[in-house]
Structure 1
Amino acid sequence: MTQEQLQILLEKYLNNTASAEEEQELTDWYHAANMQEVHWPVDNEEAVETLRNRMLHQLKEAIHPAAPAKELPLYRNIRWQVAAAILLLLGVGTWLWLDRPATPPTATTITSNKNTAPVLPGGNKATLTLADGSIIELDTAGNKTLAQQGNTRIIKLNNGQLAYHDASQQDANAPVLYNTIRTPNGGQYEIILPDGSHAWLNAASILRFPTVFTGTERKVQLSGEAYFEVAKNAHLPFRVYTTDVQLHERGIVEVLGTHFNVNAYSDEPSVKTTLLEGKVKVSVSSPGDTLHLIKPVTLAPGMQSSFPNDPARLSAIQLREVDTDEVIAWKNGLFNFNKADIQTVMRQLARWYDVEVFYEGPVSKEKFEGEIPKNATLNEVFKILELSAVHFKVEGHKVTVMP
Structure 2
Amino acid sequence: MKERTLEYYIERHMQGTITPQERAELLRLLEDPAGDEQLNGIMNEQLDQWQQSGLLFEEVSKRIQQALLTKIATEASPVRPRTSVRILKRQYWLAACLIALLGLGFYFYRKTVNKPLLTAVHTPKDIQAPAVNRAAITLSDGRRIFLDSAGNGQLAQQGNTALIKLANGQIAYQGTDKNLSKQMQYNTLTNPRGSKVIDMQLADGSHVWLNAGSSITFPVAFAGDARKVALKGEGYFEIAKVLISGAPASGRAHEGKRLPFIVEANGITTEVLGTHFNVNAYEDEPETKVTLLEGQVRVMHNTQSIMLKPGQQGIASASALSLQPSADLAQVMAWKSGYFYLDNAPFEEVMRQLSAWYDITVAYPSGVPKVELFGKMGRDLSLIEVLQNFKEAGIQWKLDGRKLIIQK
Q: TM-score range by the shorter chain?
A: 0.5 to 0.7
Amino acid at match of 2:337: N
Q: SS at the partner of 1:47?
A: helix
Q: 1:231 to 1:172 in 2, by over 3 A?
A: closer
Deviation at 1:168, TM superposition (A): 2.2
Q: 1:109 to 1:369 in 2, by over 3 A?
A: farther
Aligned to 1:363: 368
CA deviation map 1:96-139 (0-9, x unaligned): xxxxxxxxxxxx99999636542011242211000011111112
Choose from 20, 23, 34 the match for 1:46: 20
Asked if the contact 1:109/1:392 (under 8 Å) is kept, the reply is no
Aligned to 2:141: 132
- Equivalenced residue count is 294
Asked which structure has the greater RCO (Cα within 8 Å, sep 6+), the reply is 1
Q: 1:54 to 1:155 in 2, by over 3 A?
A: farther
Amino acid at match of 1:239: I
Amino acid at match of 2:194: G
What is the 5 A alignment of 1:5-16?
Answer: none
Q: SS at the partner of 1:344?
A: helix
Structure 2 CA distance, aligned partners of 1:197 and 1:54?
Answer: 58
Choose from 244, 251, 256 the match for 2:273: 256
Q: 1:47 to 1:171 in 2, by over 3 A?
A: closer
**Does residue 392 of structure 2 align to residue 391 of structure 1?**
no
Asked if the contact 2:181/2:222 (under 8 Å) is kept, the reply is no
Asked if the contact 2:239/2:274 (under 8 Å) is kept, the reply is yes
Q: SS at the partner of 1:379?
A: helix
Structure 2 CA distance, aligned partners of 1:54 and 1:221?
Answer: 58
Deviation at 1:144, TM superposition (A): 1.7
Deviation at 1:258, TM superposition (A): 1.4
Choose from 266, 269, 272 the match for 2:289: 272
Q: 1:388 to 1:233 in 2, by over 3 A?
A: same
CA deviation map 1:317-376 (0-9, x unaligned): 333311212210100101112322321111010000001111121321002122110000
Choose from 224, 235, 239 the match for 2:262: 239
Deviation at 1:233, TM superposition (A): 1.4
Deviation at 1:189, TM superposition (A): 0.6
Gaps of 5+ in 1: 1-9, 16-43, 56-60, 62-107, 244-249, 285-290
Instruction: Report which of the two structures shows the higher radius of gyration computed on alpha carbons.
Output: 2
Structure 2 CA distance, aligned partners of 1:230 and 1:331?
Answer: 16
Aligned to 1:180: 188
**Does residue 330 of structure 2 align to residue 325 of structure 1?**
yes
Q: 1:369 to 1:257 in 2, by over 3 A?
A: farther
Asked if the contact 2:268/2:316 (under 8 Å) is kept, the reply is no
Amino acid at match of 1:159: N
Structure 2 CA distance, aligned partners of 1:180 and 1:54?
Answer: 57
Deviation at 1:396, TM superposition (A): 1.5
Q: 1:113 to 1:192 in 2, by over 3 A?
A: farther
Q: SS at the partner of 2:344?
A: strand
Structure 2 CA distance, aligned partners of 1:358 and 1:319?
Answer: 30
Amino acid at match of 2:188: T
Structure 2 CA distance, aligned partners of 1:327 and 1:110?
Answer: 42
Structure 2 CA distance, aligned partners of 1:370 and 1:337?
Answer: 5
Amino acid at match of 2:21: A
**Does residue 234 of structure 2 align to residue 206 of structure 1?**
no
Q: 1:216 to 1:203 in 2, by over 3 A?
A: same
The percentage of aligned residue pairs carrying the same residue is 39
Structure 1 CA distance, aligned partners of 2:28 and 2:209?
Answer: 40
Q: SS at the partner of 2:221?
A: coil
TM value normalised by structure 1: 0.67
What is the 5 A alignment of 1:22-101?
Answer: 45-50=19-24
Structure 1 CA distance, aligned partners of 2:349 and 2:104?
Answer: 23
Asked if the contact 2:124/2:399 (under 8 Å) is kept, the reply is no
CA deviation map 1:52-80 (0-9, x unaligned): 8999xxxxx9xxxxxxxxxxxxxxxxxxx
Q: 1:156 to 1:53 in 2, by over 3 A?
A: farther
Choose from 228, 231, 234 the match for 1:219: 228
Deviation at 1:380, TM superposition (A): 0.0
Choose from 356, 373, 377 the match for 1:351: 356
CA deviation map 1:267-289 (0-9, x unaligned): 101110001111111112xxxxx
**Does residue 157 of structure 2 align to residue 148 of structure 1?**
yes
Deviation at 1:390, TM superposition (A): 1.0
Deviation at 1:186, TM superposition (A): 1.1
Q: SS at the partner of 2:377?
A: strand
Aligned to 1:102: none
Cα-Cα RMSD: 2.9
Q: 1:151 to 1:395 in 2, by over 3 A?
A: same
Aligned to 2:342: 337
Asked if the contact 1:144/1:155 (under 8 Å) is kept, the reply is yes
Amino acid at match of 1:242: A
Asked if the contact 1:151/1:169 (under 8 Å) is kept, the reply is no
Asked if the contact 1:239/1:253 (under 8 Å) is kept, the reply is yes
Gaps of 5+ in 2: 5-17, 30-34, 36-101, 106-119, 245-258
